[in-house]
């Protein structure tokens, strides 16, 4: 599963299903974190592939899931676009 698929799955599945899918991707989220991430996923823009992810968005993600999980998530994202 690539990063875009993970985002779509988290957006469309129940909390429990999203947790299982994220674990398969190597990320351990709680229901609270999934619920905090969902509205942020709608802000993701394709053009960020060319311009980079805005720091304001990264700050929102850090607020939702914490520094450690944010670092893991963005490392996986960067690995997926290489």
DSSP annotation string for 3-50: HHHHHHHHHHS-HHHHHHHHHHTT----HHHHHHHHHHHTT--TTHHH
| Cα–Cα distance for residue pair 57/12, rounded to 1 Å | 21
> pLDDT tens string for the chain (82 positions)?
566 777 887 888 999 999 998 898 888 999 999 999 999 988 988 888 789 899 999 999 999 999 999 998 888 888 877 6
| Cα–Cα distance for residue pair 66/62, rounded to 1 Å | 5
User: pTM for this one?
Assistant: 0.82
């Amino acid at each position: 599963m690539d990063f875009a698929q993970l985002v779509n799955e988290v957006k469309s599945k129940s909390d429990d299903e999203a947790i299982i899918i994220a674990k398969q991707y190597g990320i351990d989220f709680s229901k609270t974190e999934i619920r905090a991430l969902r509205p942020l996923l709608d802000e993701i823009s394709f053009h960020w592939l060319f311009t980079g992810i805005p720091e304001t968005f990264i700050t929102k993600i850090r607020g939702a899931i914490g520094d450690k999980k944010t670092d893991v998530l963005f490392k996986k994202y960067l690995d997926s676009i290489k």
